[in-house]
């Protein structure tokens, strides 16, 4: 990579205080609308949209700009079916003994169980892999840094981009997730991080009534 620097160009010309407050309010309202959705429509989405969404995710900041991630896009129905079957096998075990009573109790409000129909219905599954190190073309390896933080931020960008398109997603973590690296034949430096179905919501999609923490519960100011 080059050691050169170029001038930073802001996306906006400088805004007035009134304008920037207005913009932040508008964007807050827009983002407060985002929900995790489990009922997907099978309505197709142009693949180019997924390309662009992943490109947005991959623009996220990362430790030493290593971009330690791979996004696998699955639309192949047979592969989606195999992912569903493997995920449901793990989730069955989770819901029947591996999760604590407290955990199951915390999940009641979401109405979830081991059935994961959305893994076949959603037109695309994005499986995000984190690369704890890189394997170079000559087979040597090089270090990545702050991998969990970096991939988490990229997933945040991904979720925001999906929301921006009027599409919905779910941050799904069928645990353990090793089956995904096997099914997708990923190299040994890649570990599944999140499974994110993307699609339009089904017409009958419902989401639980949830309250978000108020600002004063999450923000501490030192002025």
- Contact set with ligand IYR (CB under 6 A): 91, 94, 107, 110, 112, 172-175
Nearer to ligand IYR, 107 or 207 (CB): 107
- Give whichever of 132 and 175 is closer to ligand IYR, judged by the CB atom: 175
Give the residue with the Cβ less far from ligand IYR, 123 or 174.
Answer: 174
Instruction: Say if residues 120 and 38 touch (Cβ distance below 8 Å).
Output: no
Please report how close the Cβ of residue 36 comes to ligand IYR at its closest, in angstroms: 8
| Closest separation in Å from C-beta 76 to ligand IYR | 22
In the chain, where do the E strands start and end? 69-74, 124-131, 133-135, 141-143, 168-169, 190-199
Q: How far is the CB of 37 from ligand IYR (least distance, A)?
A: 13
Instruction: Please identify, using beta-carbon distances, which residue of 110 and 145 lies nearer to ligand IYR.
Output: 110
Q: 188 and 213 in contact (C-beta within 8 Å)?
A: no
Say if CB 172 and CB 39 are below 8 A apart: no
Phi, psi of 177 (to 5 degrees): -105, 10
Compute the least distance from the CB of residue 91 to ligand IYR, in Å.
Answer: 6
What is the distance, to the nearest Å, from the Cα of residue 170 to the centroid of all Cα atoms in its chain?
Answer: 7
């Amino acid at each position: 990579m080059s050691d050169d620097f170029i001038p930073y160009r802001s996306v906006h010309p400088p805004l007035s205080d009134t304008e920037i407050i207005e913009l932040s309010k508008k964007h807050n309202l827009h983002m407060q609308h985002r929900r995790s959705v489990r009922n997907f429509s099978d309505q197709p989405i142009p693949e180019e949209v997924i390309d662009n969404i992943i490109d947005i995710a991959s623009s996220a900041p990362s430790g030493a700009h290593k971009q330690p991630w791979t996004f696998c896009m699955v639309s192949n129905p047979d592969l989606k079916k195999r992912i569903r079957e493997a995920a449901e096998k793990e989730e069955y075990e989770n819901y029947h003994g591996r999760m604590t009573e407290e955990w199951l109790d915390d999940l009641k409000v979401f109405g979830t169980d081991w059935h994961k129909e959305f893994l076949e219905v959603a037109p695309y599954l994005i499986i995000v892999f984190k690369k704890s190190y890189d394997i170079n073309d000559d087979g040597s390896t090089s270090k990545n840094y702050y991998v969990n933080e970096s991939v988490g931020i990229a997933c945040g960008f991904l979720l925001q981009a999906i929301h921006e398109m009027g599409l919905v997603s779910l941050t799904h973590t069928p645990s353990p997730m090793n089956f995904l690296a096997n099914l997708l034949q990923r190299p040994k430096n890649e570990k599944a991080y999140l499974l994110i179905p993307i699609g339009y919501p089904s017409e009958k999609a419902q989401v639980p009534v949830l309250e978000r923490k108020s600002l004063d519960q999450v923000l501490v100011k030192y002025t």
